[in-house]
Structure 1
Amino acid sequence: MGPVVSGVAVTKSLLESNGTVSRAAAPRSDKSWKLPPPDIKPLRWYEMVTVISTVRRAFLQDSLTSYFRQADAWPAWNRLLRFPINLLRFSYGIYQGRIVTIDRGAGAMIQYSAPGDVGMPWIVSLIIRLLGLLRTKGLAKRQDEVGEKIREMVQGAFGDRVKEMYEIQGLSAAPEAQGRGYGTALVEHVLKKGEYE
C-alpha cells in the first residue's frame, strides 16, 4: 500500500516524480477524493507569454468570442493587435501585484483590482486606446457594444460602491485544466485577500 492522502491510499503510479499527487490521476466520480489545494503564485514577468496563450486558448470555444469572430474581417491582424494590448494590461497587473496564477500561468490566472487601486498610467491607457483604433470596424463595433453593456450592468447593480469592492477583471483556465477547481481556488484566493486587506 502506498502513502495516504486525506484517508485515501495512493499507489506509486499516482505520484508525480516530486512526491506530490498528480491532479490528472484524481478520479472525478469519487467525492471523498481530496487533492491538496493548487499552488497559487503571483504572475512573474517571464511567465507573461504563457499567460497570454492560456487566456487565448481558454476562450477559443466561447460564444462571445464566436460573436466577435463573426465580425472579424482580418482575424490574423486583430490577433496580432491583442498581443501588445494584453502585454500592457498584464504588465500593469504584475506591477500592481494583482494577477495570480496556477502552474505558472499554464493552468489558470485571475486578474483583479482592489479598493484604492490607481488606474493605469495615462501613457499606457493612451497606447491601448490607440491600438484599439486599429481594430477592424465590425469587430470594434461589437466589442465596444458588449463593453458598454457590461459597464451598464455593473453600474446598475453596484453603483459607485464598485470603487469600494474587489473586482475580478479576468479569470481564465486552460482547456486542459478546466474542471479541476482552479477557477474556484483563484476566486477564493481573491475573496480571502479582500477579507484581510
Structure 2
Amino acid sequence: MEISNMDPPTRAGAVETTPLLEGDGKRSVQAVDVVPMKFRDMPVAAESIRKAFEDDPLMEYFDAADTAPFPVSRRKLIDMVDWMGAMHQERMLTVEGGMSLMKYGPPGNQTNLPSVAFLRDSLGRLRPEECAKRWKEFGAKARELVSAAFGEKVADMMEIQVLATDPDAQGRGYASALVKYVLRQGDADGRDVWLLTTSAYGFYEHFGFVTVRSGKVGEDNPAWDGEPITLRIMHRTARASLAQASSEPKSPVMYTV
C-alpha cells in the first residue's frame, strides 16, 4: 500500500478509553461474539459511531466547520458507503449487531474499491470549504506521520482503521474483543499492527501498543479557536501469543514531529 493512496478515514481511531475491568484491576474475560458486519447492522452501527465520537477532539474540529445542511445524515451516509465496501472486502466486524464495530485492513486489502471511493469522495464534496480544508489537513498530516513512522514497511502491516462502541455498551469488553481479533490474526501471520488515534491511546496501551509518532492539526488554522488536536500513531509488534504480550512491560515512547 502506498502511503499517498491511504483511504482518507471517515473516523480516526478508537474512542472507548476504558478496558473492561474487574475489582482487582485486571481485565475480566467474558464471551463476546465477534462477527462480520451485515447490511442490517449498519443503521445501529451508524448511530453507535455518532454517539461514540461525539466528544472526540478531532471530530469537534471537523464538526465546527460543517455548516452545510444535514451534517449528521451526511456523515452517517458517508460511513455506511465506506462500510459497504469494507464488508465486500471482508474487513468489517461487529459485536451485538452494530453496538460495537471495527474496520481493519490486512496487507494488500487496506483501501476501498474504486467505485466506493468515488461515491464517498463525491459525498465528501458536499462539505463546506473550511470543513473540506480541515479534512485535507488531517489526511496530509496522517500520511506524513505514518510515512515517518514506518516508511515502506507499512505495506506489510495490519491497520485498525475504525473502532467504536456505543457509549451505552462500553465497559462490556466489546472493543477489547475486536482489538484482540485483529491482534490474534496479526500474531498468527507475523504481522505488526498500527493505528491512528487522538485521545484513546491509554486504551491501546493495555494491548501493548506504543506511540511512535505524534503531530498536531489545527495549530496553524486562524479559523479554529480551540486547542490543537494531537494525532498519535501507535504500533504493536507481532508476538507469539496474547498471553505472552500481556506479561510484557508496556512503556509508551513518543516522538514528536
* TM-score > 0.5, shorter chain as reference: yes
The C-alpha deviation readout for 1:52-74, integer Å capped at 9, x for no partner, is 11111110111112222222223
| Greater C-alpha Rg | 1
Distance in 2 between residues matched to 1:46 and 1:100, nearest whole Å: 13
1:13-162 alignment, distance < 5 Å = 28-31=22-25, 34-74=28-68, 76-106=69-99, 108-117=100-109, 119-162=111-154
If each structure's strand is expressed as a fraction of its own residues, which one has the higher value? 2
Aligned-residue offset at 1:121: 2.7
Quick check: 2:41–2:97 contact (8 Å CA) kept in 1?
A: yes
Quick check: 2:22–2:28 contact (8 Å CA) kept in 1?
A: no
Give the aligned partner of residue 190 of structure 1: 182
The C-alpha deviation readout for 1:154-191, integer Å capped at 9, x for no partner, is 11101111111111110101111223332222111101
Distance in 1 between residues matched to 2:26 and 2:148, nearest whole Å: 41
Quick check: 2:44–2:98 contact (8 Å CA) kept in 1?
A: yes
Equivalent position amino acid for 2:138 in 1: V
Aligned-residue offset at 1:135: 0.5
SS in 2 for 1:180: coil
Seen in structure 2, the aligned counterparts of structure 1 residues 73 and 32 have a Cα distance that, compared at 3 Å, is closer
Q: CA RMSD in A?
A: 2.2
Quick check: 1:112–1:170 contact (8 Å CA) kept in 2?
A: yes
Aligned-residue offset at 1:32: 7.1
Q: Which runs of 5+ in 2 are unaligned?
A: 1-19, 190-257
Seen in structure 2, the aligned counterparts of structure 1 residues 104 and 191 have a Cα distance that, compared at 3 Å, is same
Give the aligned partner of residue 13 of structure 2: none
Aligned-residue offset at 1:35: 4.0
Q: Which runs of 5+ in 1 are unaligned?
A: 1-25
TM-score by length of 2: 0.60
TM-score by length of 1: 0.77
Divergent runs of 4+, >6 A: none
Distance in 2 between residues matched to 1:39 and 1:128, nearest whole Å: 30
If each structure's helix is expressed as a fraction of its own residues, which one has the higher value? 1
SS in 1 for 2:72: helix
Seen in structure 2, the aligned counterparts of structure 1 residues 27 and 157 have a Cα distance that, compared at 3 Å, is closer
Quick check: 1:47–1:105 contact (8 Å CA) kept in 2?
A: yes
SS in 2 for 1:38: coil
Equivalent position amino acid for 1:29 in 2: G
Q: Percent identity?
A: 34
Aligned-residue offset at 1:38: 1.5
Aligned-residue offset at 1:151: 1.5
Quick check: 2:49–2:166 contact (8 Å CA) kept in 1?
A: yes
Quick check: 1:110–1:169 contact (8 Å CA) kept in 2?
A: yes
Matching of residue 170 in structure 1 with residue 170 in structure 2? no
